[in-house]
Structures are given as structure tokens and as C-alpha cells.
Amino acid sequence: MSFPWAKEYTPTNPVMKFLDEKLPLPRLVYNAVGAGYPVPRNLSYFWNFGVLAGFFLVLQIVTGVVLAMHYAANAQVAFATTEHIMRDVNWGWLMRYAHANGASFFFIVVYLHIFRGFYYSSYKAPREMIWLLGVVIFLLMMATAFMGYVLPWGQMSFWGAKVITGLFGAIPLIGEPIQVWLLGGFAPDNAALNRFFSLHFLLPFVIAGVVILHIWALHIPGSSNPTGVEVKSESDTLPFHPYYTAKDGFGLGVALLLYFGLVFFLPNYLGHPDNYIEANPLSTPAHIVPEWYFWPFYAILRAFTADFFFIPAKLMGVLAMFSAILLWFFLPWLDKSPVRSGHYRPLFRKFFWFGLIPAMAVLFYCGGAPAEEPFVMLSQIATAYYFLHFLVILPIVSQIEKPEPLPYSITEAVLGSDDKAVLGENATPAV
């Protein structure tokens, strides 16, 4: 499961020797994120975000477990216990702000991780399984974050829960019974709050489990890299420790500076004021918006404003919103270009920077804006591009594009020459 030149774990300390014989946990760590894992030597800072995502998952679990000790999932007191945490619990305000902004940072690093994957086609063979598990993690994260936002039982908690569970009501015939079953009632109340708390506590551990599978699957082909050329020889790689532990350490420092800057100085910047008003089923907020990390998908949901033949607009929007993420599962088989990295794909690169990124930016902005013109029309155009990009442009581009010549090896890309490079071997793209 690794390259033949990977360093082997050789304990010298008798305790470690004993442990290695009985339960080789240090060996596992050594081979997973230690000197025993050879990694391409040319990884850019875009390869930091996996480790950062792992860090924020652990941070969320730790702060979340502490918060759960002081929180009560009961519609009568949930809002008050949240304020109790903010006012009376020692360092409770820090735990809550760290958890709320930790969710935002978890999404920031995961979005960067995903877009790294889009640009460098990290989803392509032999890494399909890593990608599929990653999409599963992202879906679990969305569910967890949504249910977590309901727990403070503010106005946005309540109305967000109502809108999102209402989406299931769009399913013909069985939609409404499903919605009632999910909520345990006709509107969000105690039953919904309790089950959301239960699932919000459970799902992070499910995510942690899938993360282990994600990393396991990663260690079979090894990490991808910015050239997209696979590792050929030992000179293409460096041991994860100390090279990438040091690089990730620096990346973590920068991320934590930004994160704690937000936690201590602008803790409510990414939140919504309405969530400091206790949930009131009789008073609908003027604009119901989800948290920022859902905005692009919320914009896709709201873009479908007209019935399409026999499909009601709402159902169409729900189908589109779920499809917008589910289609990521098919990327490895839609993009058949033999070249992975966007660096060597001139046509793909244009569509990425001048198509996908602006479309996502527009969807992001419009998802947070009120549902009025011109935001609706803008999000309709961006939604059209989003689906065209992944489902039409990507398959066609990979067919017609003429990729630029690839370096012979990672060594050549980094150091300018590779003794092993043989003239003519570049005629076929190395994959």
C-alpha cells in the first residue's frame, strides 16, 4: 500500500518495541502521517487543506462535547441555556463562539479542499474512491451543520428548519408524510429539536469514521500533486514527516490566526442577528437565509421560479439543489481527459477560472441576498452555467482538448531535470 522505498518503522525503545508487537499503533501513525509515508515533493499550499479539515473536525468535536454538557435540547429552555453558556458558564462564550466559527472555518477549508480537487482533477483514477468518500463527508457535514444551527432555537434556527424540512414536502404524494415524520410534528418543535440534537452529536463521529476511510483510500495510490504526473521514483517523493508536517504546521498557524481573529474580534460576523431572537412560530423573519456555507445551493434551490411542464417549480428546485452536489459523485467518469492537472489543460482552465469560479461567486452572493430581482435572474444564469459546466462542458472538453506537454516526472518539474528522463517518453501523457 505504499511505495517500495517507504521508510520502515524500526522502534529502538523497548516500550515501543513491545507496543509494536502487541498493537502496532505507532507503526500505523508512522506510515499514515509520519516518515513512512512518501509524498510527492511538489505539493503546493493547496494541499494543506486536508490536514486543516481534520484539525477543525477535532476542534468541533471537542468544543461541541463541552457545549453539550451545558445545553438542554428542549424548546422551552434551549435558547435560555445557550445564553446561560454565553453568560454564566466559565469560558462558555469562548466555547460557543469557537464552535460556531469553527463550523464556518471547517467549511472554508473543505471548500478550498474540494476546489483544489476540481482544478487538479484529484477525482480521477486511481483516486475515485477518495473522491467519493469525500463527497459523502461533505454531505454529512452539511446535515450536521444544518442540525447544529437549529439547536440555539433562535428565529433562523426555527425558520431554517421549517424551510429545509419543507423541501421534502415537495416530493409528490409521499412528501408531506415524510416531512411530518422527519420533524415529529407539523412544524419544528420539541420532537424535532431533540432528534436534531441527538443526530448532531452522532454525525460528527460518523464523519470521523468516513475520514478514516478517506485517508485509508488516499494511502493506496498516495497523494496527487500539482503536475498530475504520478510518482515514478524515490526522487519524486519526500517523507511526510518532517517535510509536510512542517509545512502543514505553518499552514495551521496561518489558519488559526484568521480563525481566532474572528472568534475574538468579530464572532458574530458570519452569523445572522435574527438568531439572537428566540424562535417564534407566529412571526416570520423578513428574509430567511441559511448560514453562508449553504448560500450557493440555496441560490440554486430558489432559481427555479417557474413550473417546468408537469414538474412544479419547488420540486424542480429541490431536485436541482440535491443534484448539484450528487453530480460530484460522477465526476471521475464524466471527465475523461487523461491529463489530471488544470495546469496542462488550456481549455479546461479557461472554463474553470472564467466559468465555474464566477458562477459559484454569483450563486454564493445571490444565495445570501433577498429573493428579489436582479438576484433571482443572476442566480438563474449562474445555475444554468453550473449544470452545463459539470454535466456538459466537462465531458466534451475532455474529449476535444489538446493538453499541453507534461513534464517527464515530478523530479523534472521541480528540479528542472531528471536523470531518468528518456527522450520520447513524453509522447504519451504520463498517467
Give the one residue of 238, 288, 289, 339 binding other proteins; rule: CB under 8 A: 238
By the 10 Å C-beta count (0-12 exposed, 13-18 middle, 19+ buried), 293 is classed as buried
Q: What is the spatial distance between Cα 372 and Cα 387, in angstroms, rounded to a whole number?
A: 22
Q: How many CB atoms lie within 10 A of CB 274?
A: 18
Q: State yes or no: residue 44 binds other proteins (CB under 8 A).
A: no
Q: State yes or no: residue 333 binds other proteins (CB under 8 A).
A: yes
CB of 408 to other proteins, least distance (A): 15
Helix residue ranges, H only, 120-244: 128-150, 155-168, 175-183, 190-218
Q: State yes or no: residue 210 binds other proteins (CB under 8 A).
A: no
CB 290, CB 159: distance < 8 Å? no
Q: Which stretch binds other proteins (CB under 8 A): 64-72, 212-220, 353-361, 391-399?
A: 391-399
Q: How many CB atoms lie within 10 A of CB 333?
A: 12
Give the one residue of 180, 199, 252, 430 binding other proteins; rule: CB under 8 A: 252
Q: State yes or no: residue 347 binds other proteins (CB under 8 A).
A: no
Q: State yes or no: residue 132 binds other proteins (CB under 8 A).
A: no
All 3 cell numbers of residue 28?
500505523
Give the one residue of 140, 208, 277, 325 binding other proteins; rule: CB under 8 A: 277
Q: Catalytic residue at 219?
A: yes
> Shortest CA distance to 379 belongs to which of 360, 392, 351?
360
Q: Catalytic residue at 291?
A: yes
CB 162, CB 186: distance < 8 Å? no
Q: State yes or no: residue 371 binds other proteins (CB under 8 A).
A: no
CB 255, CB 109: distance < 8 Å? yes
Q: From residue 86 to residue 125, what is the string marking binding to other proteins with x (rule CB under 8 A)? A: xx-----xx--x----------------------------
Q: What is the spatial distance between Cα 301 and Cα 93, in angstroms, rounded to a whole number?
A: 34
Q: Catalytic residue at 7?
A: no
Give the one residue of 235, 337, 341, 409 binding other proteins; rule: CB under 8 A: 235
DSSP string, 197-232: HHHHHHHHHHHHHHHHHHHHHHTTT----TT-PPP-
Nearer to other proteins, 77 or 202 (CB): 77
CB 236, CB 411: distance < 8 Å? yes
Give the one residue of 74, 190, 194, 305 binding other proteins; rule: CB under 8 A: 305
Vertex 116: Cα angle to 113 and 119 (nearest 5): 155
Q: State yes or no: residue 46 binds other proteins (CB under 8 A).
A: no
Chain residues binding other proteins by CB under 8 A are: 41, 80, 83, 86-87, 93-94, 97, 234-235, 238, 242-243, 246-247, 249-250, 252-254, 256-257, 260-261, 263-265, 267-268, 273-274, 276-277, 286, 303-306, 308, 311, 313, 316, 320, 323, 327, 330, 333-334, 336, 372-374, 376-377, 380-381, 383-384, 387-388, 390-392, 395-396, 415, 417
Q: Which residues are catalytic?
A: 219, 223, 247-248, 291
